[in-house]
């Protein structure tokens, strides 16, 4: 806390008067001299420490909490020593005090005792102030992360909507359904339901931070079945989910973008098509989400990389360093997500 000159003068004067009156009450026999010299000592100590504070103010702003406290103690010792020296000289000049070892010792002990008490209160005040600053900083950081996560979730939602409402995707799906109606009306109806579920999930769940894994898997399966209408036998997929993770909570639209990348970069370019494998299991207190495809992979500086970056940022905001996304290329493309296990049954 920084004081102006007038405020510092007022505080120093009030503190000096309080200490002088207290000393007079303790020893009323020589109250006039005691009041005056106590006022002089108190005012000199207060003013000297205020002066040293002003000199070292800019330095203190660059120090950490413990360093500030240490510097304050050193400054108080130096200021009290200098002020005591001038006070002793004034006591000798004004009141004829005899300066000897005992007198100097008693003055220093008394002054350092009073300053120590004041420093104790100052230390408590400073620690509370630093604690409040840390709490405020943490709250501000959480608010920033919350807003950033909301932006990422909105981006994921818009990105998913753009993909699903993409005219080519929609027209291809509707054309496939139309051609399927005379051949297999039941299958066509099933595809319409899957397409509806895909849109519904994108609209209603994309804004949620955490959803049950079973819901994400259902929408991934629906998405793959819709794409299978277009690719036919060129697209094969396998989904394996361990029973003990079915009710786990994961970020919404976490797996679907990975599957979409596999279709775009592995299945689509290969005339023979390929296989997408999704394996989800629990290891200790983590969930392992493994998405493999038979493609040669993709570069992370394109649209695929942008999607992966978005997933990484969401994982970082939600789980800090306890989640990760890794990519392996060993004849196949393997994207492995690790995140903490937490149950979500709703």
Lowest mean pLDDT among 99-108, 238-247, 312-321: 99-108
Closest CA to 325 of 262, 243, 237, 254: 254
Q: What residues make up the domain containing 310?
A: 165-340
Q: Can you read off the two tokens belonging to residue 89?
A: 């000289």
Rounded to the nearest 5 degrees, what angle is found at the Cα of 156, between the Cα atoms of 147 and 225? 155
Say if residue 172's pLDDT is above 80: no
Q: Residues in the chain, how many?
A: 346
Phi, psi of 233 (to 5 degrees): -70, -10
- Do 196 and 85 lie in a common domain? no
- Do 111 and 198 lie in a common domain? no
pLDDT digits (tens, 9 = 90+) for 120-152: 666 666 667 777 777 877 777 777 777 777 766
Q: Residue 311 in contact with residue 257, Cβ under 8 Å?
A: yes
177 or 111: whose pLDDT is higher? 177
Q: Can you read off the two tokens belonging to residue 324?
A: 């990760």
> What integer is the mean pLDDT of 81-106?
78
287 or 328: whose pLDDT is higher? 287
- Do 38 and 176 lie in a common domain? no
Cα 158 to Cα 168: distance, rounded to the nearest angstrom: 17
DSSP for residue 2:
-
Q: Could you tell me which residues come within 8 angstroms of residue 287 by beta carbon, excluding any fewer than 6 positions away?
A: 213, 245, 248, 250, 280, 281, 338, 339, 340, 341
Give the pLDDT band of residue 291 (cuts 50, 70, 90): very high
DSSP for residue 340:
E
Which of 106, 141, 176 is where one domain is finished? 141
159 occurs within a structural domain: no
């Amino acid at each position: 806390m920084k004081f102006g000159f007038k405020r510092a003068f007022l505080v120093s004067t009030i503190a000096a008067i309080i200490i002088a009156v207290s000393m007079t009450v303790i020893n009323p026999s020589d109250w006039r001299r005691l009041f005056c010299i106590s006022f002089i000592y108190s005012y000199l100590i207060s003013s000297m420490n205020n002066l040293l504070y002003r000199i070292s103010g800019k330095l203190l702003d660059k120090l950490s909490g413990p360093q500030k406290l240490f510097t304050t103690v050193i400054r108080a010792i130096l200021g009290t020593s200098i002020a005591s020296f001038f006070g002793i000289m004034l006591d000798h000049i004004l009141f004829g005090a005899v300066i000897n070892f005992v007198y100097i010792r008693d003055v220093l002990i008394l002054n350092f005792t009073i300053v120590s008490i004041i420093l104790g209160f100052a230390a408590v005040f400073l620690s509370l102030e630093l604690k409040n600053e840390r709490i405020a900083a943490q709250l501000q950081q959480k608010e920033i992360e919350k807003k950033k996560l909301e932006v990422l979730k909105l981006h994921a939602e818009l990105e998913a909507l753009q993909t699903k409402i993409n005219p080519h995707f929609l027209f291809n799906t509707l054309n496939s359904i139309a051609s399927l109606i005379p051949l297999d009306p039941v299958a066509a109806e099933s595809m319409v339901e899957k397409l509806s579920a895909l849109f519904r999930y994108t609209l209603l769940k994309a804004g949620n931070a955490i959803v049950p894994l079973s819901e994400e898997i259902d929408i991934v399966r629906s998405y793959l079945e819709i794409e299978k209408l277009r690719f036919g036998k060129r697209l094969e997929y396998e989904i394996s989910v361990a029973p003990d993770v079915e009710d786990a909570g994961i970020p919404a639209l976490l797996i679907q973008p990975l599957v979409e990348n596999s279709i775009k970069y592995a299945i689509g370019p290969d005339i023979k098509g390929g296989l997408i494998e999704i394996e989800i299991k629990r290891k200790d207190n983590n969930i392992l989400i493994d998405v493999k495809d038979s493609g040669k992979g993709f570069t992370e500086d394109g649209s695929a990389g942008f999607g992966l970056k978005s997933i990484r940022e969401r994982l970082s905001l939600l789980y800090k360093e306890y989640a990760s996304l890794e990519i392996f290329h060993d004849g196949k493309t393997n994207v492995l997500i690790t995140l903490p296990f937490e149950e979500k049954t709703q």
